[in-house]
Chains A and B, each alone.
Chain A
Amino acid sequence: MRLTELPIGSIARISSIEESPYKEKLQEMGCIAGVLVKPIMKAPFGDPIAFELEEYTLSMRKNEAHSVQVNLLNPLFNS
């Protein structure tokens, strides 16, 4: 699934990043296959989205997030 499909608070592992003009930028910022990622908030109108990535918060537009493939680790349980 794609990074944009993750609900807020869920945790996923990045599996791959599609080719795009911003792929390099994403990688520099730490979006690398194998890294854990957690959406923590959305800006008003749902875009951009902020993610917890390793030890910091990275924000990106839906468009950029769409190019990141992830595997969901914890399906969110409403506890």
Chain B
Amino acid sequence: MENKPFKIVLVGNPNCGKSSLFNNLTKLKQKITNVPGTTIENKVGTVSKGKQKIELIDTPGTYSFNPKSLDEKEAIRVFFEDPPPNTILYIADASNLKRNLFYFSQLSQHGIPMILALNMTDIADFKGFEIDVERLEKELGIRVFKINARTGEGVNTLKEALFEDQFVPHYQFGSENDHTHESHYDSIGKLLNKTTKIKTKRELITGKIDAFATHPILGYLIFLLVLLFIFQSVFTLASYPMDWIENGFGMLSEYLANVLPDGWVKKLIIHGLVAGIAGVVVFVPQIAILFFFMSLLEDTGYMARVSFIMDKMLRGLGLSGKSVVPLLSGAACAIPAIMSTRNIENWKDRLITIMVTPLMSCSARLPVYTLLISMAIPNTPVIGFISLQALVMLSMYVLGTVAALIAAVIFKWFIKYNIPSYFIMELPVYHSPRWGNIWVNCWQKSRSFVTEAGKIILIISVVLWFLASYGPKTDQSLSIQESPSLEQSYAGHFGKAIEPSIAPIGFDWKIGIALITSFAAREVFVGTMSTIYSVGDEEDFDQLREKMKKDRNQNGEPVYSLAVILSLMVFYAFAMQCMSTLAVVYKETRSWKWPTIQFVYMTVLAYFGSWVVFSIFS
């Protein structure tokens, strides 16, 4: 037994404070391990007492042993592992014991020792719900602890018990031959009659907040204001760390330029590797801040109300109330957004959500919009403090959202799936934020961006550096030479090759190069433009803008006319230019079919949209 670590699995319903307990027991000493062959991640932490160590496995919140969604499937996987867990630590919301004990009653059949932790005893007390812990221990035949995962009350006693003897529950739920839901609930009811009593029933504040949060008019207004506040905060707060990161990498490149010996290795490191890493890291602040707010809304219970009021509208579009979180997350980065669709039970709802989420304007599109808007749109005030530029930026977000919703309707018609979708969801009690959970969640989402997108962006940026710096020799031999200019490089040849196909939407070969390089990540557009127009410092927006504005075509007209700029913006709004997202869609749908369809429909949409805009404005 000593060879294998003692394995305890932490399970419970959603919203019962499981993550708080996990963070508290492991003191945040946890790692995320990928289950081989899947994208599914398990959180594993260590609980230590002196030299003794226990491996604690966290699982997604689950209502039953018959999983309905992908994340519930993941939760029960641990029971089929070899060796199975030594003990189940079951956490239950004491203020809602009956339903919380249903999953417990199913797990108690498996002959695995269990420990029961009763959480949220403060809310239970407030509701006048009295639990006789000793009696409950006797009836169940296992150890039961009252805890408050938020304040840490009782957690130390529970932790001690993890290192002591543990018992298999002997209470008979249902009967030997009868394990229907009714019989289990019946047994739970009898158990609770013996072990709990209700003194007085007091109203929680939740009902009063819901009167506003789900109001037919105020509800939407509040949601809109919350969104505006979040986006405003993301823009203002993220700009500082982004500046530091850009300056930091600028200094690093300069330093490397001075110390490294000249040659291709130096160029590869500075223009390939460092530029690639900088391109990933610079998005972390925006993504982290947006996910901070999203986690905050989810943790306090507000997001469930947003799902509740949005469900009817989204259902008509082939989505569900549960699509709200992925769609909003898409405004930060499509990768964690697509991963968060795992709690959508219905396969069709989930698939459509995955297919349309990349149309939401993610943070990588922002630098592209910023550059293009500053070139074409005057900064004149429109209404009070809102400038025309800000208005155009806002409309790009609206454009992405509207396109996502329309695409959803079309997928709804085309995807055949007979199992009806449902929306049976708990509306948790409102509570103040559990900061530990929020930080962990925020960190995990940002991490999934860095690992999933980061490695692909890095590889592509090295490849692109090569394509942009080298070209075929002019004497028709197949050898490679360092290219004198971007035009003569491989990338330049590619750009020229696709020029005829992108001419109808107003793009020349230079933009063609940028479209190709944008496959690493959309923001690479700005860097490519800097290279094409030989702007020394990549971040010198003003210089780049002036050079781009002065560029003329053969007829002496500006290359970047209003029509071309608007066409480009529409193209970037719709086109699937993110390899990392396609890779995640492949992993989540387990087939190349869906990423292929996604790539094709978004490209067609982008081309057609750009063509329409270009035709109207030129």
A residues near B (Cβ < 8 Å) are: 20-22, 24-30, 32-33, 35, 40-41, 43-45, 47-48, 50, 53-61, 63-64
Q: Which of B64, B312, B427, B428 is the one whose CB lies under 8 Å from A47?
A: B312
Shortest distance from the beta carbon of B425 to any chain A beta carbon, whole Å = 5
Q: Known contacts A44-B220, A44-B309, A61-B311: does B424 contact A29 (CB below 8 Å)?
A: yes
Q: List 11 A-B contacts (CB under 8 A).
A: A27-B182, A30-B185, A33-B182, A35-B185, A43-B214, A50-B210, A50-B214, A57-B206, A57-B427, A59-B424, A60-B424
| Interface assignment of B102: CB less than 8 Å from any CB of chain A | yes
Shortest distance from the beta carbon of A39 to any chain B beta carbon, whole Å = 13
Bound-state CA distance A38–B301 (Å) is: 21
Shortest distance from the beta carbon of B104 to any chain A beta carbon, whole Å = 12
Contact pattern, B 172-183, Cβ under 8 Å of A = 1, otherwise 0: 000000000110
Decide: B423 and A54 in contact? CB cutoff 8 A: no
| Interface assignment of B99: CB less than 8 Å from any CB of chain A | yes
| Interface assignment of B66: CB less than 8 Å from any CB of chain A | yes
Q: Known contacts A28-B63, A28-B64, A30-B102: does B308 contact A21 (CB below 8 Å)?
A: no
List 7 extra interface pairs beyond A43-B309, A44-B215, A63-B422, CB under 8 A: A21-B422, A24-B66, A35-B185, A55-B98, A59-B425, A60-B425, A61-B423
Decide: B308 and A25 in contact? CB cutoff 8 A: no
Contact residues of A: prevailing secondary structure? mixed
Q: Which residues of chain B in 479-526 are interfacial with respect to chain A, using CB atoms and an 8 Å cutoff?
A: none
Shortest distance from the beta carbon of B122 to any chain A beta carbon, whole Å = 15
Bound-state CA distance A56–B219 (Å) is: 21
Provide the residues of chain B in CB contact with A45, threshold 8 Å.
216, 312-313
Decide: B185 and A64 in contact? CB cutoff 8 A: no
Provide the residues of chain B in CB contact with A44, threshold 8 Å.
214-216, 219-220, 309, 312
| Interface assignment of B420: CB less than 8 Å from any CB of chain A | yes
| Interface assignment of B68: CB less than 8 Å from any CB of chain A | yes
Provide the residues of chain B in CB contact with A54, threshold 8 Å.
96, 98-99
Shortest distance from the beta carbon of A71 to any chain B beta carbon, whole Å = 17
Provide the residues of chain A in CB contact with B587, threshold 8 Å.
none
Q: Which of A27, A28, A48 is the one whose CB lies under 8 Å from B312?
A: A48
Decide: B426 and A29 in contact? CB cutoff 8 A: yes
CB closest residue in chain A, given B68 = A25
Provide the residues of chain A in CB contact with B309, threshold 8 Å.
43-44
Decide: A48 and B426 in contact? CB cutoff 8 A: no
Decide: B422 and A58 in contact? CB cutoff 8 A: no
Provide the residues of chain A in CB contact with B423, threshold 8 Å.
48, 59-61, 64
Provide the residues of chain B in CB contact with A58, threshold 8 Å.
424-427
| Interface assignment of B321: CB less than 8 Å from any CB of chain A | yes
Decide: A28 and B95 in contact? CB cutoff 8 A: no
Bound-state CA distance A69–B182 (Å) is: 15
Q: Which of A53, A55, A57 has the most CB of B within 10 A?
A: A55
Bound-state CA distance A53–B68 (Å) is: 21
CB closest residue in chain A, given B15 = A56
Q: Which of A45, A56, A64 has the most CB of B within 10 A?
A: A56
Contact pattern, B 193-214, Cβ under 8 Å of A = 1, otherwise 0: 0000000000000110011001
Leading 10 A-B pairs by shortest Cβ distance: A27-B181, A44-B216, A57-B427, A55-B96, A22-B422, A28-B64, A30-B99, A56-B96, A32-B185, A60-B424
Shortest distance from the beta carbon of A14 to any chain B beta carbon, whole Å = 11
Shortest distance from the beta carbon of A3 to any chain B beta carbon, whole Å = 12
